[in-house]
Structure formats: structure tokens, C-alpha cells
Amino acid sequence: MSKDLIKYQRLAETHLHTLNDGVGFSRREFFKLGALGLTGFFFSKVVNPPAILAQSKPQLLNTAKNCIYIHLDGAPSHLDTFDLKEGSWTPKDFEPTTYGGLRWPRGLMPKLAEQLQHISIVRSMNAWALVHGLAKQWVEIGRNPATPFAKIAPNIGAVVAMEFESQRQSNQKLPGFIAFGASEVTGSGYLKPQFAPFKVTPSPTGLSDSTHPAGESRFETRYSYLRKMDAELRSGPIGSNSTAMAAAYDQAKGMMYNQEISNLFQYSSNDTTKYGNTSIGIACAIARNILKANLGTRFIEIINGGWDHHQSIYDRTQGIYLRAQQLDTAVAALIADLASTPSKTGKSLLDETLIVMMGEFGRTPGALNNQSGRDHYLQMSAVLAGGGVKGGRVIGKTSDDGAYTVEYGWQRNVLIRPEDVLCTIYSALGIDYTTVLSDDPFKRGFEYVPYAKDGLYAPIDPLF
């Protein structure tokens, strides 16, 4: 597909989302599209992508074995963090510093500054929606959650778990998809329950049950009764669903009272010193343990909340300082530990693990609002490291105040969207992001990334 075709296809797509979902759209882009006389043509092509846009099977990056997705829930201010913009609003103790041409708030995130050789930043990115839950789920499933078909859509982590299920070894007892701090993380959709996220709340005692010494024997007795009672159901009209659920139960049971597994979910005083005694710090330390153990987990999602700074964003007790410093300590330690841990292939564990970190959208640029905060905004940034990503790179450029993209930074010459990030994750893991499954309940064909097979979305190749 030509660059111009991709560009105006994206513009049409943006307006289509505006009509359907009420999300933002640039007037300048709309009039430019209309002036070219392309409106009706391209709107129809977005609804029904033409066969001429179909691609051959993509060349996958295949640079990673695992993925850690860190969602900064609430949406951090891109112009105060990963796309630093300096103005009268910038606190002096942010200490803006240049690292190889990259401007960074060293005073806010000094430890991540020491890991910039491993980190690349995507700055030419826009969200689709400005509602927290909608935009967050959009990132997890790669499509508009407000559509009926999206109700069956699985989290990308569930797709990854399913894709690697056939490669599991007998000793790999951990689920393929684990989530921390994830009460509202999207599940397995219409895929089997065993691919749903195994949701964990970290505890210094791990997964053990120290309060009930007789718990294991009682559980085994009750579980055997359950298996006998539902045996007939599995051969009845709901047999396949019952069997799938039983497989999920068996997988969970395999982790209970297993000291090897429980140890992975524990953390020490040394961990809390290095990673920080915070939810994000402990989650990152346990994620490290899980990947080092190589017991079957391929996708880890970590939710780090508290970034919704509509007011008092520069307040030291409740604003961006606290969140940024906790994130800085945890993620810098995670990157450093993975980089220093050799894998069985001779590479480091960081080389085999793609880390993706982003919120659901960005924050209003320039001066603060009348509550000394920043509101929701489509322009945003994403951070990637490891898994074949070449560090020290910046993809795209925004205006001096961070309001809009002025350079796209990749060969497609369009805004980067959440769907492109999903294509990147899939491709890095060696998964064909253009895959269309034929077993969905609606019999419409479930696309891993909608319209990727038509060339509308693609991996962010300049990162690699």
C-alpha cells in the first residue's frame, strides 16, 4: 500500500470512529480529507476494506519470547514524562537533561535515565477515545470496546497464551497469562477459560495458605467430590464448555500447595529495597521471578494506577512526583535485573522480553488548568524496551508544547495507534498479527488486529 493511501485511509478511519464513538478528530485533517474529494470513497473502504489492499503473509520480527505490558492507569502527562516539554509550567526540580539528543526529566525519573540505552520512546501516538475504561480496554483488545463484536474479544495476553499453548512442557505449571493489580483487566473473551488472566495480588507469603495447616487435605477431598459430581456433565450437551472450565481449574490446582510455585510469588526485603515497597515495585520483582523460572508464562500485565492528575499535578504528596518516582524505581530495577540475567539461549532475559509501558491517552499541553492539573488529551507516548528493541531511540516528534504530532517517525507516515502497538507485540513474539480465526460465535471471523490483514495497521519497525 502506498504511503498516501495509508495516510488518507487512516484519516477516513479516524473520522469513522468520530461518527460512531464521539472521539476527537482534527478539523484540519477533516477539511484536508474533504478537499481531496476522498471522503465517500475512503469511508466505504474503511467499512469494507478492498481486496486490493490485502497483504501477503507478513515478515514477523520474532525477537522476543515474553512480554510485560505495564499499563499506567489514569493516563500520565506525556509532556511531563516521556515527551518532556519545557515551559513556564515546568518545575525546576524536574532537572531537564539531554541524553544523546533525548530530553529527559532526570529529577523526576533519575533511575530510568540510567537505563535509556535500553529504552525507546514512541511520541507520534494518538489514542482513539478520552474515556478511561473505554480507552484502556481498547489497548487490551485492539478494537473499539463499544461495539457488539468486541464483547467476545480477548485480551492480547489471552491470545498470546493460546498461541504458545502447544509449546508448553510438562513441568510448566504457570498460566500463560498473569496479571497484577488487575481487577478490571479484560479476560479471555470467547477463547477457552484457561487462557484468561491469572490475577494475582502480591503477598510476602506467596500463594501459600499458612493460616490453615489442614487446608491441603480438605481441599483435595472436596476437589475429588467436585470431579465426581460434574463427570456426567462433561459428556452431556455442555460437555465442551465444562471440559474447558475443568482444564482451567486443573491448571489452578496445579499451583496450589506447590512450594516451587509459591516461592516465585514471594518477595524479600532486598526486593523491596531495590524495587520499592510499592504495588508496582513488588509486581515488577515477581514478574522477574516468573520469567526467570520459565514455567509457562509468556505474557504479564501490570496495572499501575493513580495517574489521573486533573488537579495538583505538581503536588509532591499526591501528584505526579509520587507516581513517577515509584515507577522509576520499579521499572529501572526490572530492566537492570533482566539485562543482567542470562537466558538459556545465551542472550539476556531482557533480550527475550519485550516491555511495553503506556497509559490510555495523554494530557492537555501547555499551561495547567484552573485546578493546577491536566485533563484528558489524545496525543500520548509509549515506552518500549527489550525484546529486540534498540534503545536510545525516539519515534516521532510533537510540537513545542506537545499538542500534536509534527513528525511521524516511521515509514508509514501516519499517527501511531494502539492497534499498531498490538501489531508490534504480536510480531515481536513471532505471532502473525494478521491472523483471522474462524471459530468466533458470530461467525464473522475474529481478527487479532482488525484491518491489519488489509495493511491498515502494522508493527512499529523503526524500534527494532
Q: Which long-range contacts (CB under 8 A, 24 or more apart) does 371-374 make?
A: 371/310, 371/311, 371/312, 372/311, 372/312, 372/313, 372/314, 372/315, 373/309, 373/310, 373/311, 373/312, 373/313, 374/77, 374/80, 374/309, 374/310, 374/313
Q: Give residue 307's pLDDT.
A: 98
DSSP code at position 403: S
Strand pairing report for 397-398 and 393-395: unpaired
Where is average pLDDT lowest: 13-27, 230-244, 339-353? 13-27
Across residues 121-139, what is the average pLDDT? 97
Confidence of residue 446 (pLDDT cuts 50, 70, 90): very high
Alpha-carbon distances of 158 from 60, 430, 448, rounded to whole Å: 20, 15, 11
Q: Rounded to an integer, what distance in angstroms lies between the CA atom of residue 177 and that of residue 69?
A: 11
Q: Give residue 419's pLDDT.
A: 98
Across residues 392-400, what is the average pLDDT? 97
Q: Give residue 200's pLDDT.
A: 87
Collect all residues with Cβ–Cβ distance below 8 Å to 24 and sequence separation of at least 6. Answer: 18, 130, 378
In sequence order, the β-bridge partners of residue 377 are 362
Q: Rounded to an integer, what distance in angstroms lies between the CA atom of residue 349 and that of residue 333?
A: 13
Confidence of residue 101 (pLDDT cuts 50, 70, 90): confident
Closest-CA residue to 391 (of 462, 297, 322, 439) = 462
The sign of the torsion formed by the CA atoms of 334, 337, 339, 344 equals negative
Where is average pLDDT lowest: 21-35, 101-115, 123-137? 21-35
In sequence order, the β-bridge partners of residue 120 are 384, 393
Q: In what order do the strands lie in the sheet with 299-304?
A: 198-200, 177-180, 299-304, 66-72, 353-358, 379-385, 119-126, 393-395
Q: Give residue 10's pLDDT.
A: 55
C-alpha distance across the termini of the chain, in Å: 21
Q: Is the pLDDT of residue 36 over 80?
A: no
Across residues 269-294, what is the average pLDDT? 95
Q: Give residue 216's pLDDT.
A: 59
Cβ–Cβ under 8 Å, residues 82 and 121: yes
Q: Is the pLDDT of residue 43 over 90?
A: no
Q: Which long-range contacts (CB under 8 A, 24 or more apart) does 196-205 make?
A: 196/158, 196/248, 197/155, 197/157, 197/158, 197/301, 198/174, 198/252, 200/265, 200/286, 202/265, 202/267, 202/279, 202/282, 202/283, 202/286, 203/265, 203/266, 204/266, 204/267, 205/262, 205/266
Q: Give residue 389's pLDDT.
A: 98
Question: Which grid cell sits at 135?
Answer: 480507552
Q: Rounded to an integer, what distance in angstroms lies between the CA atom of residue 289 and that of residue 292?
A: 5
Q: Rounded to an integer, what distance in angstroms lies between the CA atom of residue 148 and that of residue 142?
A: 14
Q: Give residue 202's pLDDT.
A: 73
Q: What is the chain's mean pLDDT, rounded?
A: 85
DSSP code at position 398: E
Q: Give residue 50's pLDDT.
A: 33
CB atoms within 10 A of CB 120: 21
CB atoms within 10 A of CB 92: 7
Q: Is the pLDDT of residue 209 over 90?
A: no
| 55 or 292: which leads in pLDDT | 292
Across residues 210-239, what is the average pLDDT? 58
Per DSSP, the residues of 252-305 read HHTTTT-HHHHHHT---HHHHHHH-SSHHHHHHHHHHHHHHHTSS--EEEEEE-
Q: Give residue 310's pLDDT.
A: 98
Q: Give residue 46's pLDDT.
A: 39
Burial-class residue 367 by CB neighbours within 10 Å (0-12, 13-18, 19+): exposed
Collect all residues with Cβ–Cβ distance below 8 Å to 35 and sequence separation of at least 6. Answer: none
Q: Is the pLDDT of residue 232 over 90?
A: no
Taking only the tens place, the pLDDT of each residue in 153-168 is 999 999 999 999 999 9
| 223 or 131: which leads in pLDDT | 131
Confidence of residue 184 (pLDDT cuts 50, 70, 90): confident
Please state the separation of Cα 115 from the chain's center in Å: 20
| 47 or 172: which leads in pLDDT | 172
Confidence of residue 22 (pLDDT cuts 50, 70, 90): very low
% the chain with pLDDT above 90:
69
Cβ–Cβ under 8 Å, residues 128 and 138: yes
Q: Give residue 116's pLDDT.
A: 98
Please state the separation of Cα 212 from the chain's center in Å: 37
Which of 9-18, 20-29, 201-210, 375-384 has maximum average pLDDT?
Answer: 375-384
Across residues 147-151, what is the average pLDDT? 89
% the chain with pLDDT above 70:
76
Reduced to 3 DSSP states, what percent helix, strand and coil does the chain have, rounded to the nearest 5?
Answer: 40, 15, 45
Q: Rounded to an integer, what distance in angstroms lies between the CA atom of residue 205 and that of residue 199?
A: 16
Where is average pLDDT lowest: 3-7, 175-179, 428-432? 3-7
Question: Which grid cell sits at 66?
Answer: 515474553
